Amino acid sequence: MKLFIDSADLTEIETIASWGVLAGVTTNPSLIAKVEGDEEDIYRHICGLVDGPVSAEVTTEVRDEMIEQGHRLAAIHPNIVVKIPTSPDGLQATAALAREGIKVNMTLCFTAAQALLAAASGARFVSPFVGRYDDIGNSGVEALRDTVDALMNSAYEVEVLAASIRSPVHVTEAAKMGADIATIPAKVFHQMLQHPLTTLGLQKFNEDAAARRARLAAR
C-alpha cells in the first residue's frame, strides 16, 4: 500500500517527504483554506515536494463548472489529479475528463455502491472515507473493506485510496485488507513512528554507548 499525505501545509509535506515515504498528496478545499497564498502556486509547490499524484479538488457541484475547473487544475502540473465529489454531476464530469485523459479522484465516497459508480465513470482513484463514517456510528473500516472487495473483483482500472484516516490503526487495517493507498494527516504519520519500547530501547543503546566511550577515555 502506498502512503500519501493529506495536507496542503507545505512545511508538513516537506517534513514527511524528507522521510522518504511519500508517494503522493491529497488536498481539499478546507485544507487549502488554511494556507496563505495563491491556490495554483500552492499546488505547484506541493508538486515540487512530492513526485507523485497530487489531488486538487473542484469547488462546485455543477457538471460544466467541474469540467472547467478540472481543466484549469490539470493544467497546473502533470501530477495533478482532479478531485471530484460523488454525485450525479460528479459522475458526468468525471466521465468527460477521463475521456480526455485527465485523472480523477472521486471523493466523499462512503459505500461500495458509490465506489462502483465512480470506477465505472472513469475515476482513476476512489476515496472511501473511514473516520467520517465512524463519526456517525458506523464502521468505516468495514465500509472500506466492502469497497476494496467490490473493486478487486471489478473490471475497472481504479485504485482505492483510503481517506479520512484518524489513527495508525486505520492505516494498518487499510493495508491488511488490500487498499492501494492510504492518505494520512501529518499528525498520524508521527503517531505511526512512535512506540514506547522504541524510545526506551534507543535510550538504553545510547546510554550503553556513552558508558563505553567513558570507560575507554578513562584508560
Give residue 208's pLDDT: 87
Give residue 81's pLDDT: 98
List the alpha helices (DSSP H) in 27-165: 29-33, 39-49, 63-74, 88-99, 112-121, 131-135, 140-152
Give residue 134's pLDDT: 84
110 alpha carbon, distance to own chain's centre: 15
Which one is the CATH code of 2-194: 3.20.20.70, 3.40.50.10490, 3.40.630.20, 3.40.50.2300?
A: 3.20.20.70
pTM of the model: 0.93
64 vs 131: CA distance, rounded Å: 31
Residues in the chain: 219
For residues 19 and 39, the answer to whether their CB atoms sit within 8 Å is no
15 alpha carbon, distance to own chain's centre: 16
pLDDT in tens, the chain (219 residues): 999 999 999 999 999 999 999 999 999 999 999 999 999 999 999 999 999 999 999 999 999 999 999 999 999 999 999 999 999 999 999 999 999 999 999 999 999 999 999 999 999 999 999 998 888 888 989 999 999 999 998 889 999 999 999 999 999 999 999 999 999 999 999 999 999 999 999 999 999 899 899 988 988
Can you give the residue ranges of every domain in the chain?
2-194
Residue tagged 463514517 (cell numbers): 133
Give catalytic residue positions.
Answer: 83
Give residue 82's pLDDT: 98
Torsion angles phi and psi, residue 191, rounded to 5: -65, -35
211 vs 169: CA distance, rounded Å: 38
